[in-house]
Amino acid sequence: MAQLKTDPIKIPPIVFILFGLAVCSGAYQVFKPSSTATSVTVPGLTSLVGEKMSDVQAVPKGEFRYGGSTSWAVVRKNVDIGMRFSFPDFRLKYVDPEGTTPNSQTGLAMLLDGKLDFVQSSQGIPESIQQQAKQRGIKLKEISIATDSVAVYVHPQLNLPGLTWTQFQAILAGEIRNWQELGGPNQAIQIYQKSRQEVPNAPFTAIASTTESIRRVANDPGGISWASATLVVPQCGIKVLPLGTSPNQWISPYQSPEVPPAECTSQKHNQVNPEIFRNSNYPWQRSLSIVVIEDGSDRQKAGEAYARMLMTQQGQDLLQESGYAPTR
């Protein structure tokens, strides 16, 4: 059985650099307001965006609850630390949903129920949530922050060069149920995902988190799952498949040369290929966004301030270091 060897979530070098500078030169020198700021138009948000997080104005004081997509886990770990450094009175509390798994949908439902102040989404605002908000007289606002690519992963011993988008959709629809149909071994396909809603007619096992899905796929020769490329590409114990729009025209989510699972360690592992963010032919890209309720309250201001910090040059650099494509 393949064993999971490493955790993909690591603090990027730029964060340590910022802390080193803060210790040696003082926090003021690192996070002091810059002398220049740029007017940037963001979908859903037009604001004065500076070079550093500390340039952001109108940041409310207090504790604000947030949550949502696990695709934001790297951002929470690697970027939010700079916000705490710049605005110690702007306190963020991550809240998990009760009795279910964290994702965009559950986070948005919690926002509508008043259990969160803003949401980190990787699915935008689904139509079902839009309808619920409309019925309650709530106006939602989405602020696009970065671009993420989704990677599909399988058991490390599956002998398959890649998947076309059509083949992958056929797996989700339950039309392809054995890897042999795609040129692989005579092995039944088993999907591991959080929600049955995405795969109503295919062989499916519910899992609680991306970490669990990685463990399950690593130990199931027929297993398949998908998640943010930033989270899964560096993992040992699984095989991330190139995707394409047609056979043999694969776009790999990892940099060349590939590190085979047998050689993968915590120090030597695959890295996300930044080209997938720039190549429009990669079949599976999505926007990372902040969603707030437009009501003029401090919770709206908190979500918008959070978004503006991510849109500063400092925030965009940290997003890029975390493996995402910044929008600025």
pLDDT tens for 264-320 read 998 999 998 877 777 667 889 889 999 999 999 999 999 999 999 999 999 988 888
Look at residue 188 in the predicted model and tell me its pLDDT.
98
pTM given for the model: 0.74
User: What is the rounded distance in angstroms from the CA atom of residue 160 to the CA atom of residue 91?
Assistant: 47
Asked if domains 13-148+285-326 and 149-278 share a fold, the reply is yes
Look at residue 279 in the predicted model and tell me its pLDDT.
64
User: Per residue, what are the HEC states of 88-118?
Assistant: CCEEEEECCCCCCCCCHHHHHHHHHCCCCCE
> Which range among 136-150, 187-201, 246-260 has the greatest average pLDDT?
136-150
User: What is the rounded distance in angstroms from the CA atom of residue 200 to the CA atom of residue 84?
Assistant: 42
As a CATH number, domain 13-148+285-326 is 3.40.190.10
* Coarse DSSP helix, strand, coil percentages of the chain, rounded to the nearest 5 percent: 35, 25, 40
Q: Where are the domains of the chain?
A: 13-148+285-326, 149-278
Burial string for 186-195 (b: 16+ CB within 10 Å, else e) reads ebebbbbbbe
Look at residue 220 in the predicted model and tell me its pLDDT.
98
Average pLDDT over residues 193-207: 84
pLDDT tens-digit readout, 40-93: 344 444 445 578 999 999 999 999 999 999 889 888 887 888 788 899 999 999
The correct answer on CATH 3.40.50.1980 for the domain covering 149-278 is: no
